[in-house]
Structure 1
Amino acid sequence: MTPEASRATRINDFVVKFANVNGSGSASANRLFARSILRMGVPVASRNIFPSNIQGLPTWYEVRVSEAGHIGRRGGVDLMVAMNPQTWDQDVAEIDEGGYLFYDSTRPMPRSKFRQDVEVLGLPLTAIANERYGDPRQRQLFKNIIYVGALTELLGIDTAAVEKLIAEQFKGKDKLIAPNVEALRLGRDRARAEIGQIGLRIRRADAVGDRIFLEGNNAAGLGAVYGGATVCAWYPITPSTSLAEAFDKHCRRYRVDPVTGKNRFAVVQAEDELASIGMVIGASWNGARAFTATAGPGISLMQEFIGLAYFAEIPAVIFDVQRGGPSTGMPTRTQQSDILNCAYASHGDTKHVLLLPEDPHECFEFGA
């Protein structure tokens, strides 16, 4: 970085972007990073920018830190965590002037790959992981936690808050807690010794209020619990699968009889989408509040049953988590591709109520 370039200095108001390889186990580490900032009383808004289709392709995760509570994308990046050589040039170009580039410096990079107006922060993450771990899978997974540990030092994040989150995340799998905490501290200590703190800082605040950290599918699943749903019949299909899984998780916390220990809910994985909507209609006919979660191809298969529910006046709720393209489409791309198909689903003169949430808050409200 040239001496005349201005180094970004901000407190509780900046953007961190992670450039990773899909299937590397980075998603949980990146969420851990975002949640740790929230635990320090500072609101964050995180999102997958362009999730990939298959293992090995690029994926990005952006975290906007905003004590003021802004949740929209600001534009620009103050700190890029570049972990994917395939997208290096694109990722480096996206950093704002005076920003920071954090990368794995195990393999030397030519000077032409860096920008003069960006401060470069290199740490040999792969070498650190290889020195400590023998198993190849462990090396990759713990490398992610090592870079989270390094970021805690660079940004001034309370390590104790992250360690508490790790303990919560692996509750019931206690043997995983100590190795993850060790990897976290390993990254923190190396960053402290070789880099130090930067101009971007996380300072404890009390600005989170009653916010919680969750994505749209999770919010919709929780909303269904609050709305009184007791039956979920579904067939796994990306990107809706996590909604049914979230409903099951929340029901196991809130819908188990404290006296008998019996479940007061039913989650049924059907053999296909046709069976799932049929089960929903049957459960609703019997008086239960029931729903299914699917995507565009599932909606196509459910047309006849949707018509049955409409003309028989049997209430049925369908969460359509849309994905791009016709037929099987592109499962991990999002697109508003099913609106007309859902509005007039089935054969004959049918018109269905559509609720289109704009954020996780509305996902919860509409789910309830």
Structure 2
Amino acid sequence: IKAVREALETVFPGKTEVVDLNESAAMIGHEYASENFTKQDPYTTESADQVGNKILVDGNEAAALGAIWGGVSVVAWYPITPASSLAENLEKHIEKIRDKDSEGANRFVVVQAEDELAAVGMALGAGWAGARSMTSTSGPGISLMAENLGLGYFTEIPTVIYDVQRVGPSTGLPTRTQQSDMLQVAFHSHGDTRFPMLLPANPGEAFSMSCQAYDLAEKYQTPVVFMSDLDLGMNNWICDPLEEPSADFDRGKIASDEVIARLDKWGRYRDVDGDGIPYRTIPGVTLHPDAAHLTRGSGHDEDANYSESPEVYSRNLDRLARKISGMVVDLPEPILKPGQGDMGLIAFGTTDWAVEEALADMESTPDYLRVRSFPFHQQVGEFLENHESVMVIEQNQQGQMAQLLAMEYPQLAGRIVSKTYYGGLPLSANFVREALQSASEVEAR
């Protein structure tokens, strides 16, 4: 009963009346069982410590902690299963962790917006003003955010979006898991866009990638999408303690007064370094008389002037594409697990757990590459080149990761074999094992 009370106090902190009531109910049940049932089996329970210093945490809480360590200060969100607990955990922890300012006021803001459109709009506004900002949602919310995400891409405003994927389309199955937002997010909004995606597989990566997302968003001045799923986000996982980052924040190219004075000619969308990344101004930081806080979502030239010139518009889109492609050097690299044979295997996210379990039971295993980000690293293309056949296992009907790979490497598309599961439950090792065995039998023929 002592352990029951401790658990209740964890779930209902500060609610003594609720804890007492539930403890009394548990005691009544215990006493009734003791008086009316005779134990006939040999089994007993006792406390044990077989996990050492490992922790129990769900992916949403790990991602929330990563956001805090990543420096988030503006959180705008709207409730949706299975993402709500990410913002709720963030608000719970940031109040305890983040120091107040000299006047005793909070140095963060958490706002529950009226809908997802408003939430992402608030996050973009905060990003423009120089705050590290985020919003969290799932597939239906991502759909609603399409236009504003395109605005963020084209105006080059940093923010982080957490997509805890669930089964769709429409309302779908809100309490089941899937990896079915990949294509929607990769090229979200109308027009030509390409959004960087982070693909964590476990709470440790949920923490580290969440933390890293804010550096990426500010360095490359673009919305970054953290692609989780219900399996990772809402289920409890045993993992190593989360590793606190030691590096300072990378805020990217800020047009301070010193930078403005050094540049021959500053323009909000002018690429002066050849990497596609311009210098952005921040209200209150950039005070130089030759600079202005310019942002434009319509056609614009290097100085944020309105332009309908075909050459200017094409040049701007090409610069944006070059900037996003250049992010690869900072995105999480894929992880290779060498095997035997000519066939390769690609997976991502929580699919990794079923793959690892399946491979552990097989005598002969394929080379296995776990993709952890998009745009893809060079190693992904090399992996396709080095294998005659590459099976891509994922949790959606349309083989969305396989399609992304085929689009990125059209000359190698014929080598890609798509294997999908989309029932809503977490992928099983049996599914992976049978898929690999079936492919091996085809090769043998």
Q: TM-score range by the shorter chain?
A: 0.5 to 0.7
Change (3 A) 1:168 1:236: closer
The corresponding residue for 1:151 is: none
Q: Does 1:254 align with 2:97?
A: yes
The corresponding residue for 1:191 is: 33
**Alignment counterpart, residue 309 of structure 1, candidates 129, 137, 152:** 152
**Alignment counterpart, residue 266 of structure 1, candidates 64, 85, 109:** 109
The alpha-carbon deviation at position 200 of structure 1 amounts to 4.5
Q: Does 1:162 align with 2:28?
A: no
> Runs of at least 4 residues of structure 1 off by over 6 A?
none
Give the secondary-structure state (helix, strand or coil) at the position aligned to 2:75. strand
The alpha-carbon deviation at position 274 of structure 1 amounts to 1.3
Give the secondary-structure state (helix, strand or coil) at the position aligned to 2:135. strand
Q: Distance in 1 between matches of 2:87 and 2:187?
A: 24
The amino acid of 1:342's aligned partner reads V
1:1-368 correspondence runs (5 A)? 159-193=1-35, 194-196=37-39, 198-257=41-100, 260-368=103-211
Q: Distance in 1 between matches of 2:19 and 2:78?
A: 33
Gaps of 5+ in 2: 212-445
TM-score (norm 1): 0.53
The corresponding residue for 2:255 is: none
The corresponding residue for 2:232 is: none
1:256·1:262 contact (CA, 8 Å) conserved in 2? no
- How many residue pairs match? The answer is 210
TM-score (norm 2): 0.44
Give the secondary-structure state (helix, strand or coil) at the position aligned to 1:364. helix
**Range with greater deviation from structure 2 (185-194 or 244-253):** 185-194
2:65·2:90 contact (CA, 8 Å) conserved in 1? yes
Q: Which has the larger radius of gyration?
A: 2
Change (3 A) 1:183 1:274: same
The alpha-carbon deviation at position 205 of structure 1 amounts to 2.5
The amino acid of 1:172's aligned partner reads G
Over aligned residue pairs, what C-alpha RMSD do you find?
A: 2.2
**Range with greater deviation from structure 2 (242-251 or 177-186):** 177-186
Give the secondary-structure state (helix, strand or coil) at the position aligned to 2:131. coil
The amino acid of 1:323's aligned partner reads R
Q: Distance in 2 between matches of 1:170 and 1:200?
A: 31
2:101·2:107 contact (CA, 8 Å) conserved in 1? no
The alpha-carbon deviation at position 280 of structure 1 amounts to 0.8
Q: Distance in 2 between matches of 1:285 and 1:178?
A: 48
1:170·1:177 contact (CA, 8 Å) conserved in 2? yes
The alpha-carbon deviation at position 367 of structure 1 amounts to 1.8
2:134·2:159 contact (CA, 8 Å) conserved in 1? yes
Change (3 A) 1:260 1:211: farther
Give the secondary-structure state (helix, strand or coil) at the position aligned to 2:13. coil
1:149-208: per-residue Cα shift (whole Å, max 9, x none)? Answer: xxxxxxxxxx32222222343332212222222222222233334143744443333333
Gaps of 5+ in 1: 1-158
Give the secondary-structure state (helix, strand or coil) at the position aligned to 1:288. coil
The amino acid of 1:178's aligned partner reads D
